[in-house]
Amino acid sequence: MEELSPTAYVILGMLSWRPMSGYDIKAIVDHSTRFFWATSYGQIYPELHRLAEAGLVEGEPETGSGRRRTAYTLTATGREALRHWLAQEPRTFEQRDEGLLKLFFSAAAPATAAATLDAKRADHERKLKRLREVEAGGKAEGFAELVLRYGIESSEWIVDWCEREAARLRRAEARR
């Protein structure tokens, strides 16, 4: 079997829960994995077609929704591919954060650093609010709850860190 993309594994993982359309997958992504692994419609639909061609998922037209949607289910081969991937050690722990990138290069414009930290803090406060809403909804269970706790606790730490470091930078700037 050829190497599958990360988006393929997002789809296989979602379909391991229940049959879903591409629209359903994207809706769930937007309230779950997007906090650590974003996936777009432009990735989902072509990948669903590739997975169907590879025999890892099967699609059936949905009835009764009024919209032309296809509900996909995981095949036995797809379930085995997902299990194989889950058994492998993770290879990607990548984080893309423009705020950290700007901080890294802030020596070129030091006066911008505290504002960058303020923006990063505000972004994580918004994320923390959304994650706490998910938590309050009580739908995250098992391993999803474990990942939710990671998101909440890491966001809390980032908010605190940004506040501390922005204050430190402002104190240093005031001494100059």
Q: Rounded to an integer, what distance in angstroms lies between the CA atom of residue 125 and that of residue 120? A: 9
- Per-residue pLDDT of 121-165, as tens digits, reads 999 999 999 999 999 998 888 999 999 999 999 999 999 999 999
How far apart, in Å, are the Cα atoms of 146 and each of 11, 36, 111? 20, 13, 38
103, part of any domain: yes
CATH number at residue 35: 1.10.10.10
Q: Rounded to an integer, what distance in angstroms lies between the CA atom of residue 128 and that of residue 152? A: 6
Total structural domains within the chain: 2
64 vs 91: which has the higher pLDDT:
91
91 vs 12: which has the higher pLDDT:
12
**Do residues 80 and 107 both lie within one domain?**
no
**Do residues 43 and 73 both lie within one domain?**
yes
Mean pLDDT of all residues in 63-85: 90
Reported in sequence order, the residue ranges of the chain that DSSP labels E, i.e. its strands, are: 57-61, 70-74
Q: Rounded to an integer, what distance in angstroms lies between the CA atom of residue 151 and that of residue 132? A: 10
How far apart, in Å, are the Cα atoms of 36 and each of 15, 50, 102? 19, 24, 20
**Do residues 122 and 57 both lie within one domain?**
no
pLDDT score, position 1: 56
The mean pLDDT value of the chain amounts to: 93
Q: Rounded to an integer, what distance in angstroms lies between the CA atom of residue 59 and that of residue 72? A: 4
Q: Rounded to an integer, what distance in angstroms lies between the CA atom of residue 111 and that of residue 121? A: 17
**Do residues 58 and 109 both lie within one domain?**
no
- Per-residue pLDDT of 109-125, as tens digits, reads 999 999 999 999 999 99
**Do residues 32 and 80 both lie within one domain?**
yes
